[in-house]
Structure 1
Amino acid sequence: MTSAISVEVRCIDAFNELKTSRHITTVLYRLNDNLDTLIVDFEGNLTHDELLKALPSDPRLVAYALHFADRDGGRIQAIVLISWSPQGISPEQGAAHAAVYVALRNQLGGVDLSVEAMSQSDLEYNRLVRAARA
């Protein structure tokens, strides 16, 4: 693994499309096999339950448009950046994933909530909504 991890331009473009399009709610990112470049793994429209089912056993970064109602019943969207780092990954994967999470977060404008998750319980819908409202 090199000390510098790059972020493909497509990663930023996909995030910007998520912010402006109603057709994309989810972008999953992953490191390439050399652990030196972040690439888009998936982009599409997933419900919260579908997102949880789509998370693999290896690390991913996820940009997700969380939709919920405010206390008055109005519809709100919060852009959530998730660091999915399940237990059992190698130390090399963990270090590269942590570094690219910081790199991506620093390049994205418009993230409302950042979440580090090691299990699906960290990403429960109501937990995310509470955090987004705070």
Structure 2
Amino acid sequence: MSSGVGVNNECLDVFQQLKSKRAFKYVIYKLSDDKKEIVVDSKSDNADYDDFVAALPPKDCRYAVYDFEYERANEGKRNKICFFIWSPDEAPIKSKMLYASSKDAIRKRLDGIAIEVQGTDLSEVAYETVLEKATRTSR
């Protein structure tokens, strides 16, 4: 189901900077106030994973990309770009429905995503949970 929501060009520009130049560690996207397009909510170039998770609102939905860095035994450091759909239990139903129906509008435009994570509570976006997904897709 498509909601007809567009994607602001800044969303794609900032994603390319994260992906190509490693200019940002994460980018959080939201629906504009008029609910007609997806826009950049916030971005950071110097944040650890806990800072990223803390930036997700506890009572509203968001999309996000995070440049996830981890180490594998005998293989060294690795990076994977993760796409997050944050839809906390406390978010309004209307918001959850709109974000769910608009996800493909942005997801299909972000080329190079390695992992997709859906989170409804903090345990689903915990570092260990994402690390397990990242290492599972590395094999």
TM-score > 0.5, shorter chain as reference = yes
Aligned to 1:82: 84
Aligned to 2:62: 60
Aligned to 1:107: 109
Aligned to 2:124: 122
Number of aligned residues = 133
The one-character-per-residue Cα deviations of 1:4-53 (angstroms, maximum 9, x if unpaired) are 10010110111111112233110000001122210001111221010111
Q: How does 1:10-89 map to 2 (within 5 A)?
A: 10-45=10-45, 46-56=47-57, 57-89=59-91
Q: Distance in 1 between matches of 2:118 and 2:105?
A: 15
Given that 2:60 and 2:92 are in contact with CA atoms closer than 8 Å, whether structure 1 keeps it comes out as: no
Q: Distance in 1 between matches of 2:133 and 2:15?
A: 21
Task: Find the residue that maps to 2:108 and give its secondary structure.
Answer: helix
> Which residue identity is paired with 1:84?
W
TM-score under structure 1 normalisation? 0.92
Identity across matched positions, percent: 26
The one-character-per-residue Cα deviations of 1:66-125 (angstroms, maximum 9, x if unpaired) are 000022151100000000111122222112101222211111110000011011111111
Greater CA drift, 107-116 or 87-96: 87-96
Q: Distance in 2 between matches of 1:63 and 1:8?
A: 15
Task: Find the residue that maps to 2:112 and give its secondary structure.
Answer: coil
Q: 1:103 to 1:66 in 2, by over 3 A?
A: same
Q: Distance in 1 between matches of 2:3 and 2:64?
A: 22
Given that 1:35 and 1:93 are in contact with CA atoms closer than 8 Å, whether structure 2 keeps it comes out as: no
Task: Find the residue that maps to 1:110 and give its secondary structure.
Answer: coil
List alignment gaps of at least 5 residues for structure 1: none
Q: CA RMSD in A?
A: 1.5
Task: Find the residue that maps to 2:134 and give its secondary structure.
Answer: helix
Greater CA drift, 59-68 or 96-105: 96-105
TM-score under structure 2 normalisation? 0.89
